[in-house]
């Protein structure tokens, strides 16, 4: 018995040493020719295919490589180029791709970790948004009533030929038509992109025919929308589209994949697709397995994604084997395939370049290359040809993770178990607190503040880099940071910011800075994953129970407070955001980890209060992005997320003011949860929406204080006093004056000092004018 196939849905394209980023950025700067860039692409593809082949993967994806984004590649393949780019037709080029992604003028330079990267309006780049609930961003396809599709790129065909020439058993991969339409955006009010379905499917038919003619045995079509709430129309469209695709496939067989969540009520529709193989994500959709097996069609191949493509933990072989055994019993070896749960583009490339992770921790991890080995090992173990030693070793690794004192800290567990309902609540309700805070803080109406960071200049970054390399002593680095902080506070004092901040010069990143000081976190050297285009992130790994060995920010805050008489705002990152931007342990619910982090932050909040900091901001820009894919699951998530925030904040006295910040303002769906945070002040991003997005707060009669951003920090433009005053007048029409703050949209770390200075001077003037107005 050895018929069970292994395959892969997609492999990280970035290269072990981020070769793709380096080459792409060099090309953009004019330091690398197009031919050289293309050669880098070819080299990466070849390396990646051969790696997969050597690992023993039977069917290897092609067209998962991209110089920017696979959704954008597909738009180019389909000739769906937004009209404003005045594309002359014919074959799209790499420059077509980059232009759509980046616009024709330099893209916005603001890119903090949390703001959804959007190009500034003037560049007219296409919009970017999160790929389902991952941290990968795709370029949103644009649809017009007169959008026409026609094959306009040779990429998928060329790459298929390239792989064939290398003797790779290649499987071309494409996003499926229904997912493509669902993820795109209508550019005209009242126009439904699904009106384009007929012509879209015709073009897919041609693509399939062409791939089939060149010998593709399998084509993979990704339809992750099966993990979403679907309408009856979408479900019908899926059947119609695939009926048509099936009718032109010739000798080629079609594999449709779902991933990122259970299919639940969509399962019968998935089973009914007239294709030859179906893929399921058992890591996130394991609850479906009994139903999948009970009714799995007898004419199809069952592909099971048992190895987690989105997290970094070693597979629990025994658990996977038990799922695979059940499946094997139902479908037999000829109809069972084994794979990672989803594309491995969401995993770092390899554990082999991690000299700083110790052996024990490394033994708990698997990155993309190790995941491929796991897939093959599972197949071998299932068919009886595997080595028992591997199984024993895997069992041992799983076992030590269950019991290791590095992971399990009894005092953390006890403390969390002893949390009482009162720990989530402030002592008094908001109106009482507001009174006490106003008495203590003595701020004017329309108090001014900023969101925390000030420009992280080249000097700041270079000082940090030199310090990390040991070229700058601890003392010199600290003195440098102190000087920056002092200058920043002096500036705020001088222009009259009512609640200053220290500027966050000591922080590299709002999550990493805290993770480095908490127990239970580890940091990789090369664990990069693509966030969008040439921007990659290296998330911390939360491997164990989280605790705070000692205060993290009090020294900076107390130093800062000695420099001014005005009340300093302390600055922390919230538990949900720390969780959301890390690789999170999978051996306990995310909610438990979030609440452990919350307790650590709570201690920090109390220490800040203890040294006399009267206002503390707990940033939670990632609360909204943590929302589950299915509406039914929202409530459970929001419940624990809100509780995590409250646990971190609620220990303080009534007259200590808790702020929070979020980098967006679309709160309609979650306003009740936002109000549930019970932060005394929330600052949000509103300048570009003309305050319209305050409506959610107004409709909800949001009771606490709000700072609607008046200064668009995504752009180097300096806003005028009148503009900001106007925005605040709009806000004032909606929200009681005593509840309003005046502040920028977000942190200023990506801006230059010149613009920041003038903009903040204007902002303070706007607040002064507002105080005069009745």
Where do contacts with Zn ion occur on this chain (CB under 5 A)? Answer: 663, 746
Q: Cβ contacts of residue 401 below 8 Å, gap of 6+?
A: 364, 407, 587
Q: Is 130 annotated as a binding residue?
A: yes
Minimum CB distance to ligand GLN smaller for 315 or for 743: 743
The yes or no reply on residue 324 touching ligand GLN (CB under 6 A) is: no
**In the complex, least distance from residue 683 CB atom to Zn ion, rounded to whole angstroms:** 8
Pick the piece of the chain touching ligand GLN (CB under 6 A) from 303-311, 320-328, 431-439, 746-754: 746-754
The yes or no reply on residue 658 touching ligand GLN (CB under 6 A) is: no
Q: Is 732 annotated as a binding residue?
A: no
**In the complex, least distance from residue 497 CB atom to Zn ion, rounded to whole angstroms:** 18
Q: Which residues are catalytic, by number?
A: 714
Number of residues that bind ligand GLN (CB under 6 A): 16
The yes or no reply on residue 661 touching ligand GLN (CB under 6 A) is: yes
Cα 313 from Cα 438, distance rounded (Å): 49
Minimum CB distance to ligand GLN smaller for 308 or for 619: 619
User: Which of 523, 465, 541, 530 minimizes the C-alpha distance to 19?
Assistant: 530
The yes or no reply on residue 114 touching ligand GLN (CB under 6 A) is: yes
Cα 123 from Cα 88, distance rounded (Å): 19
Question: Residue written as tokens 């390396």?
Answer: 47
Partner interacting with residue 117 (select from ligand GLN, Zn ion, none; CB below 5-8 Å by kind): none
Partner interacting with residue 654 (select from ligand GLN, Zn ion, none; CB below 5-8 Å by kind): none
User: Which of 406, 513, 590, 425 minimizes the C-alpha distance to 747?
Assistant: 513
84-110 burial: b if 16+ Cβ within 10 Å, else e: ebebeeeebebebbbbbbbbeeebbeb
The yes or no reply on residue 464 touching ligand GLN (CB under 6 A) is: no
Q: Is 625 annotated as a binding residue?
A: yes
The yes or no reply on residue 134 touching ligand GLN (CB under 6 A) is: no
Q: Is 346 annotated as a binding residue?
A: no
Q: Is 651 annotated as a binding residue?
A: no
Minimum CB distance to ligand GLN smaller for 80 or for 617: 617
Cα 579 from Cα 511, distance rounded (Å): 9
CA-angle at 298, arms to 292 and 304, nearest 5°:
40
Cα 660 from Cα 622, distance rounded (Å): 12
**In the complex, least distance from residue 749 CB atom to ligand GLN, rounded to whole angstroms:** 5
Q: Is 504 annotated as a binding residue?
A: yes
Q: What share of the chain is helix, strand, coil (3-state, %, to 5)?
A: 50, 15, 40
The yes or no reply on residue 681 touching ligand GLN (CB under 6 A) is: no
Minimum CB distance to ligand GLN smaller for 300 or for 569: 569
The yes or no reply on residue 452 touching ligand GLN (CB under 6 A) is: yes
Minimum CB distance to ligand GLN smaller for 181 or for 623: 623
Question: Nearest residue to ligand GLN, using CB?
Answer: 747
Q: Strands (DSSP E) along 45-161, which ranges? A: 60-62, 128-130, 137-139, 142-143
Minimum CB distance to ligand GLN smaller for 172 or for 452: 452
Strand partners, 280: 304
Taking residues 488 to 517 in sequence order and writing x for each that binds ligand GLN by CB under 6 A, - otherwise, the string is: ----------------x-----x-------
The dihedral through the CA atoms of 389, 394, 395, 397 has a sign that is positive
Is 605 within 8 Å of 618 (Cβ atoms)?
A: yes
**In the complex, least distance from residue 510 CB atom to ligand GLN, rounded to whole angstroms:** 5
DSSP three-state, residue 761: helix
- The residue within the footprint of ligand GLN, chosen from 20, 125, 542, 571 (CB under 6 A), is 571
What part of residues 591-620 is at the interface with ligand GLN (CB under 6 A)? 619
Q: Is 555 annotated as a binding residue?
A: no
The yes or no reply on residue 453 touching ligand GLN (CB under 6 A) is: yes
- The residue within the footprint of ligand GLN, chosen from 168, 307, 663, 767 (CB under 6 A), is 663
Q: For the chain, first and last CA: distance in Å?
A: 84
Residues in the chain: 774
DSSP three-state, residue 34: helix
Q: Is 144 annotated as a binding residue?
A: no
Cα 122 from Cα 719, distance rounded (Å): 16
Give the Cβ contact number of residue 185 at 10 Å: 12
Q: Strands (DSSP E) along 630-733, which ranges? A: 657-661, 681-684, 705-708
Query: Torsions phi, psi of 470, nearest 5?
Result: 85, 10
Q: Is 28 annotated as a binding residue?
A: no
Minimum CB distance to ligand GLN smaller for 57 or for 511: 511
Q: Which residues are annotated as a binding site for 5-methyltetrahydropteroyltri-L-glutamate?
A: 18-21, 130, 135, 581, 625
Q: Which residues are annotated as a binding site?
A: 18-21, 130, 135, 451-453, 504, 581, 619, 625, 661, 663, 685, 746
Q: What is the contact surface with ligand GLN in residues (CB under 6 A)?
A: 112-114, 451-453, 504, 510, 571, 619, 621, 661, 663, 746-747, 749
């Amino acid at each position: 018995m050895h018929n069970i196939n292994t395959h892969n849905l997609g492999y990280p394209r970035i290269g072990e040493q981020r070769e793709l980023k380096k080459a792409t950025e060099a090309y953009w700067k004019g330091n690398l020719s197009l031919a050289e860039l293309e050669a880098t692409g070819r080299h990466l593809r070849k390396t990646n295919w051969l790696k997969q082949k050597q690992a023993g993967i039977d069917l290897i994806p092609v067209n998962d490589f991209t110089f920017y984004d696979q959704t954008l590649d597909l738009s180019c393949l389909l000739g769906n180029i937004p009209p404003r780019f005045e594309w002359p037709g014919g074959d799209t080029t790499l420059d077509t791709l980059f232009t759509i992604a980046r616009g024709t003028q330099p893209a916005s330079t603001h890119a903090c970790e949390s703001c959804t990267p959007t190009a500034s309006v003037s560049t007219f780049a296409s919009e970017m948004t999160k790929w389902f609930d991952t941290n990968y961003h795709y370029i949103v396809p644009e649809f017009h009533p007169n959008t026409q599709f026609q094959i306009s790129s040779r990429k998928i065909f060329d790459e298929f030929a390239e792989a064939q020439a290398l003797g790779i058993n290649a499987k071309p991969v494409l996003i499926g038509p229904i997912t493509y339409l669902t993820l795109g955006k209508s550019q005209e009010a009242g126009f439904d992109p699904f009106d384009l379905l007929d012509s879209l499917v015709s073009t897919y038919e041609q693509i399939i025919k062409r791939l089939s003619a060149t010998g593709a045995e399998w084509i993979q079509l990704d339809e992750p929308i099966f993990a979403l709430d679907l309408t009856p129309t979408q479900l019908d469209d899926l059947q119609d589209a695939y009926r048509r695709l099936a009718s032109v496939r010739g000798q080629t067989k079609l594999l449709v994949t779902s991933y990122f969540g259970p299919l639940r009520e969509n399962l019968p529709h998935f089973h009914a697709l007239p294709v030859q193989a179906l893929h399921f994500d058992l890591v996130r959709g394991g609850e479906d397995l009994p139903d999948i097996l009970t009714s799995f069609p007898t004419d199809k191949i069952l592909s099971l994604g048992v190895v987690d493509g989105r997290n970094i933990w070693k597979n629990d072989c025994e658990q996977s084997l038990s799922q695979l055994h059940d499946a094997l019993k139902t479908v037999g070896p000829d109809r069972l395939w084994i794979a990672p749960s989803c594309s491995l583009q969401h995993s770092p490339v390899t554990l082999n370049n991690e000299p700083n992770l110790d052996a024990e921790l490394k033994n708990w991890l698997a990155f993309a290359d190790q995941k491929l080995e796991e897939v093959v090992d599972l197949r071998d173990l299932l068919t009886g040809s595997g080595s028992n030693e591997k199984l024993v070793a895997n069992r041992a690794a799983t076992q030590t993770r269950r019991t290791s004192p590095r992971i399990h800290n009894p005092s953390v567990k006890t403390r969390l178990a002893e949390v009482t309902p009162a720990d989530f609540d402030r002592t008094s309700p908001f109106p009482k607190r507001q009174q006490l805070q106003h008495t203590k803080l003595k701020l004017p109406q329309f108090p001014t503040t900023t969101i925390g960071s000030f420009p992280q200049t080249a000097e700041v970054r270079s000082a940090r880099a030199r310090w990390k390399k040991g070229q700058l002593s601890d003392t010199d680095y600290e003195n440098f940071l102190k000087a920056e902080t002092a200058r920043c506070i002096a500036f705020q004092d001088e222009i009259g910011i009512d609640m200053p901040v220290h500027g966050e010069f000591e922080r590299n990143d709002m999550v990493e800075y805290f993770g480095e000081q908490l127990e239970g976190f580890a940091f990789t050297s090369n664990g990069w994953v693509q966030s969008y285009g040439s921007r990659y992130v290296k998330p911390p790994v939360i491997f164990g129970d989280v605790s705070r060995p000692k205060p993290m920010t009090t020294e900076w805050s107390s130093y800062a407070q000695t420099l001014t008489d005005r009340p300093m705002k302390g600055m922390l990152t919230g538990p949900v955001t720390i969780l959301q931007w890390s690789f999170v342990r999978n051996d306990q619910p995310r909610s438990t980890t979030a609440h452990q982090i919350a307790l650590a932050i709570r201690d920090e909040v109390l220490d800040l209060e203890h040294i006399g900091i009267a206002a503390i901001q707990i940033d939670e820009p990632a609360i909204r992005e943590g929302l589950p894919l299915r509406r039914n699951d929202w409530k459970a998530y929001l419940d624990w997320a809100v509780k995590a925030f409250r646990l971190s904040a609620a220990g303080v006295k009534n007259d200590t003011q808790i702020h929070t910040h979020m980098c967006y303002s679309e709160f309609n769906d979650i306003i009740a949860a936002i109000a549930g945070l019970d932060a005394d002040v929330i600052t949000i991003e509103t300048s570009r929406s003309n305050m319209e997005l305050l409506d959610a707060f107004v409709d909800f009669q949001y009771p606490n204080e709000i700072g609607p951003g008046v200064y668009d920090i995504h752009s180097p433009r300096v806003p005028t006093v009148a503009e900001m005053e106007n925005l605040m007048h709009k806000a004032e029409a909606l929200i009681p004056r005593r509840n309003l703050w005046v502040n920028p949209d977000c942190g200023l770390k990506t801006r230059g000092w010149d613009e920041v200075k003038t903009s903040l001077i204007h902002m303070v003037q706007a607040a002064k004018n507002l105080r005069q107005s009745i």
